[in-house]
A and B are shown apart, each in its own frame.
Chain A
Amino acid sequence: MAEIAALREAELSEADLLAREREIAARHMGHFPWGSVVWCFANLACWLALWPLVIFGPVPLWLGFVIATLNIMLCYLPSHEAQHDIIARPGTKWRWLNELVGHVSTIPLNLSYGVAKLTHMEHHKHANHPDKDPDYSNHAPSAWAAIWKSFLNRQPGATAGFNRYGELMQEMKTPQSERALVIGIVYQIGFYGFLIGMAWSGFALEAALLWWLPQHIGLTYIQFYLSWAPHHPFKRQGRYHDTRAWRSKLGNILTMGMQYHVVHHLYPRIPLMRTPLAYWEMRSVLEARGVRIDGL
């Protein structure tokens, strides 16, 4: 059935296909992403609450570690909605909420909003370009290699991954990048200062298991599912070829909606939670466009 629909779409002209694609996308844009806003604050509140709950005893450290790891895995996507102005466009009534979500959501990940936004916009402009895509360094030949690469990229001497983000801020030389760099440095000082302060106050294990180790695990998970999996094998560029639709054994929730990443790259202002629906409505158009669809 889907193949027949794709063939029908293939008979349409370029202009018709684009018009159809845009008409579907327009139906899904402009919706206030309540889910992502609640997700941001609930997730952050949960992670912050873990500190007194673990330190004063009601929650055991091992359970705190598990919850903190989940919190950090989950903290990036609400900020991602804000990076694309999905919560509120500049100059609108709820803009402050967009910026607030952007700033606070990724605190547990030790990633500042400005750096995240500027590098992510570069990723969208140059997806899969070996020199210009800041996330290109996540490419790897296999899933295990991608996980290992994620660890290698964050070693002190590495010039890729998050280390590359700092270099990019310096190269961009715009007022926004300079401000983002300063805030990014403040984040780093705050993060390591907090870890060291806690450690010398007798809470080294708590700091390690509620922030340091969960941050490493969460970052690996995020880089794997938000970058490696949807862009693998990082070879092609262009609007319909720099990412893919794919089916994961873990399903949609555990892959954080990234099976439908192609919809996000085509129309970044569609809220995350609407990308599955937009994909299924758009699927035959995407097939006719030659989008890589792996089992979805």
Chain B
Amino acid sequence: MLIKLIELIFKFGPLVFGFGFMVPLIHELIVGFDMALPFGLSAWLVAFAIGGGLGLMAQVRGSWIWQK
């Protein structure tokens, strides 16, 4: 059971990192630098969109950057 869970976490590593680390990191950056967001978007929404989006892209493409 534990092994299966660990395998699953590793398999979806980029998604876990994107939502688990990038999202709160981006949120802290937005709030810390007092960035003005368009259309009244909340900092959390933008953080989830960017961090989660990057994680999803890395999960699908196998790379966090444009080149593999």
Contacts and interface: CB of A to CB of B under 8 A. Distances in A.
Contact of A155 (B6, B28, B29, B64): B64
B32 A205 contact: yes
B46 to A, nearest CB: 15
Interface string B41-68: 0000000000000000011011111011
A189 B9 CA distance: 9
- Of the four ranges (under 10, 10 to 19, 20 to 34, 35 or more), the interface on chain A belongs to 20 to 34
A151 interface: yes
- Of the four ranges (under 10, 10 to 19, 20 to 34, 35 or more), the interface on chain B belongs to 20 to 34
Given A151-B65, A212-B21, 11 more contacts: A156-B63, A157-B62, A157-B68, A158-B63, A158-B68, A192-B16, A196-B16, A196-B17, A200-B24, A204-B24, A204-B25
A155 B21 contact: no
Interface of A: 151-152, 155-158, 185, 188-189, 192, 195-196, 199-200, 202, 204-205, 207-208, 212
A151 B67 CA distance: 10
Contacts of B21: 192, 195-196, 199, 204, 207-208, 212
Contact of A157 (B10, B32, B63): B63
Contact of A189 (B6, B23, B61): B6
A204 B28 contact: yes
B20 A199 contact: yes
B68 A155 contact: yes
B32 A156 contact: no
Given A192-B16, A199-B20, A205 B58 contact: no
A155 B65 CA distance: 8
Contact of A205 (B28, B59, B61): B28
A61 B25 CA distance: 15
A104 B4 CA distance: 28
Interface of B: 6, 9-10, 13-14, 16-17, 20-21, 23-25, 27-29, 32, 58-59, 61-65, 67-68
Contacts of B16: 192, 196
Contacts of A188: 10
A219 B17 CA distance: 19
Contacts of B68: 152, 155, 157-158
B6 A185 contact: yes
A156 B65 CA distance: 10
B17 A192 contact: yes
A278 B59 CA distance: 49
A82 B22 CA distance: 35
Nearest to B23: A199
Nearest to A155: B63
Nearest to A197: B20
Given A185-B6, A192-B20, A196-B20, A156 B59 contact: yes
Contacts of B58: 155-156
A158 B62 CA distance: 7
Contacts of A205: 25, 28-29, 32
Contacts of B14: 156
Contacts of A202: 28
A156 B62 contact: yes
B15 to A, nearest CB: 10
